[in-house]
Amino acid sequence: MAEADDNQSHPSTLAHGLSNAHYIDPDVHARENEAVLFTSWSSIRFAKDIPNPGDASPVEFLGRPLLLVRGKDDDLHVFENVCRHRGMVLVDKPTTFKGVIRCPYHSWCYGFNAALKTTPHVGGPGIHDHPDMDKENLGLVPVRSQVWMGIIFVNISGDGQAFSDYIAPVEARWSDFMGKPIFHAGEDSSFHLEVNCNWKLAIENYCESYHLPWVHPALNQYSKLEDHYKIIEEAGQFSGQGTRVYAPSLDETGHRFIKFEGLPDKWDTAGEYI
């Protein structure tokens, strides 16, 4: 929703959208992925979806096959979902490994920490090693990752800014919530939605309430267009929207989510999305 511009004599100040190429041109899409998503930090999944040691789940992130693995130390790791031998995709659906991650092609096996463990018959029938193989450098390729507030972030290029610096502006805005525990209520606490569009369209829709009166008239009766406000952080660090009347109930009896102790009163009815 563009702000009204009182200075009509300077066309350069008028609001306008991105060109069509930013939504349909494959070359623009590839350059944007590199500049916006690969070289910075991007969220790809929730840690709750890989809850137990040995749990593994594949994610394709803009054409990159990634593998999320919960280690025996309970830490969550992200690797390239590709065997170091012939490039076979290791895991094609969520699974739980008992001891090792096994490639379905030649049964090369990797530990939950990415180390290459076994290479059956690699030196010939019954010979499971080879003097010219450097196993220490043939483990799964790690992807720089961080878990924050139950969300898994990755930096594909590996050379983005420190995650603590990246997330600092968000933590400053939401300082009231830092250090609070995160709870998940099981399978019905989240949902999966596939959107067949350029990723900017989905994000632009999510970060504005302009469409509520026409697309979500029932929601607009509860959380009206005028109850929302825009969030635009300096230096383009993040943007989004907030509402002043968000007080969800779980059922028709008015049973509500449990509230955190020690939060300012404004959060009793406020919600923000960035």
- pLDDT band at residue 11 under the 50/70/90 scheme: low
* Per-residue model confidence as pLDDT tens digits over 21-50: 999 999 999 999 999 999 999 999 999 999
List pLDDT tens digits, range 96-114: 998 899 999 999 999 998 9
pLDDT at 6 over 50: no
pLDDT above 90 as % of the chain: 58
And the tokens for 131?
């003097």
Identify which has the larger pLDDT, 190 or 90.
90
Domains of the chain, each with CATH number or no CATH: 10-166 (2.102.10.10), 174-273 (no CATH)
How far is the first Cα of the chain from the last one, in angstroms, to the nearest whole number?
16
